[in-house]
Chains A and B, each alone.
Chain A
Amino acid sequence: MLRVDIEKQLGEFSLHASFASEGRAIGLFGASGAGKTSLVNMIAGLLRPDRGTIVIDGETVDDSAAGIHVPTWRRRIGYVFQDARLFPHLTVAQNLDYGRRMNRLPPDASQHKRIVDLLDIGALLDRRPGKLSGGERQRVALGRALLSKPRLLLLDEPLGALDEGRKLEILPYLVRLRDEANVPMVYVSHDAAELRQLATQIVLLKQGRVTSFGGVKVLT
């Protein structure tokens, strides 16, 4: 599903990560500054590795030796950022529809309804992002990423900006997503408890290096 073997120098910080996973929910665990976001940005194509390869679902999207670097917009990934990043000039409905329009996909009413129901955002469709709570924003961002029909969903600390109460509000949606949406995901977090609930496999990142890889047990 996902194969990563990259090197990247970012100022003083060097990132050297290698793992391959067929898991449905890969948890990327590490303290802040371990290189988690840089790694996810490389999978997304927002950052180009100095050396190495990235393979998503059998397609090589990065290969420094062969000079391959597929641009972000052609990678068919979904990315949920910590800070939602909804488009402020569009309504929730238009935000949800954005990926489908950009990828020129035909409207898919049943999938739309399924995801809107799954995330419980039906009542928000006519609103602007400025009028949403943090938790609502994050649910809409999830829906927006899913509705672009990605082959891989990247979630970079999607609960990081929320308080404890809100986290507990969103977590069940993420679990349902993992079990029902049928999109493999990479879930980044520095919270072991979160990952125990969500991830099926863990990549442990410490100061730019993968120190362990395996089942949820490595979190102990």
Chain B
Amino acid sequence: MSDLSPAEWTAILLSLRVAIIATLVATPFGIALAWLLARRDFWGKSLLDAVVHLPLVLPPVVTGYLLLLTFGRRGLVGGFLADYLGIVFSFRWTGAALACGVMAFPLLVRPMRLSIEAIDRRLEQAAETLGAAPWKVFFTVTLPLALPGVLAGMVLGFAKAIGEFGATITFVSNIPGETQTISSAIYSLIQTPDGDAAAGRLVIVSIVLALGALIAAEWFARRATARLHGN
């Protein structure tokens, strides 16, 4: 790895920053949504479920374009955030994180939802009979038992976020040092004469990161099973 160039390191570190921020910000929303989908019945539930999964099946360029329309400088939400809170997404690394977060969200939510669904609700009832208010039941029983699934979702979401390409490049373009992640760097390199070696190195980096994340997710899933059986 020592022969990675500074430009390649910039892309790798930016990718890591974007993916980590995207995962951390998405996680609380992911847990809340997973709980809602696993534990509550309400009007429009299947619609909400479908909307969450939309980035998984839409062409990424469409998601990116929709983000641009919504969160761009002149977008409905983007304009408001820029004018009143000073948060700008377009052509910034924060925009890359937003795009990656949205694209990773369905993968992040799924293991969380499954792990909450797998929890015996009778344990939550038992907690209530022992004097635990509903929010305490959530934090002392539901969340700890779902933790391996929550971590697995975070790992999967992270792996997806670090490799995201289509939505990111559509929304925030491909600016070295600001929005050029590993994927967009590879894209640029393979269009450049003599870029093959550098592209190859970044390809190996992404394979290693993705594989590591998948192995970690699998490990957490196995921990989840053991935990539910009280071993």
Residues of A at the B interface (CB closer than 8 Å) are 44, 46, 71-79, 81, 83, 85-89, 98-99, 102-103, 128-131, 144-145, 148, 154
Contact = CB atoms under 8 A, between A and B. Distances in A.
A73 B128 contact: yes
Contacts of A76: 131
A130 B128 contact: no
B227 A102 contact: no
B229 interface: yes
B130 A98 contact: yes
B69 interface: no
Interface string B111-136: 00000000010110111111111101
A154 B144 CA distance: 27
12 contacts: A46-B128, A73-B131, A73-B136, A76-B131, A79-B126, A85-B123, A87-B141, A88-B229, A98-B130, A98-B132, A102-B131, A103-B130
Interface string B140-151: 110011000000
Contacts of A81: 122, 126
B144 to A, nearest CB: 5
Contact of A128 (B132, B145, B231): B231
A119 B230 CA distance: 21
B228 interface: yes
B130 A88 contact: no
The main secondary structure of chain B at its interface with chain A is helix
A98 B125 CA distance: 13
Contacts of B130: 73, 78, 98-99, 102-103, 144-145, 148
A44 to B, nearest CB: 6
A73 B133 contact: yes
Contacts of A148: 130-131
Nearest to A148: B130
B132 A102 contact: yes
A145 B133 CA distance: 16
Contacts of A98: 127, 130, 132, 140
Contacts of A85: 120, 122-123, 125-126
A131 B231 contact: yes
Interface string B93-126: 0000000000000000000000000001011011
Contact of A130 (B123, B125, B126, B231): B231
A99 B131 contact: yes
Contacts of B230: 86, 88-89, 128-131
A78 B129 contact: yes
Given A87-B123, A89-B227, 11 more contacts: A44-B129, A72-B125, A75-B129, A77-B129, A88-B123, A88-B229, A89-B230, A102-B130, A102-B133, A130-B230, A148-B130
A103 B131 contact: yes
B231 to A, nearest CB: 4
A112 to B, nearest CB: 15
Contacts of B229: 88, 130
A102 B122 CA distance: 17
Nearest to A130: B230
B15 to A, nearest CB: 34
A130 B129 CA distance: 21
Contacts of A79: 126, 129
Interface in B133-188: 133-134, 136-137, 140-141, 144-145
A78 B130 CA distance: 6
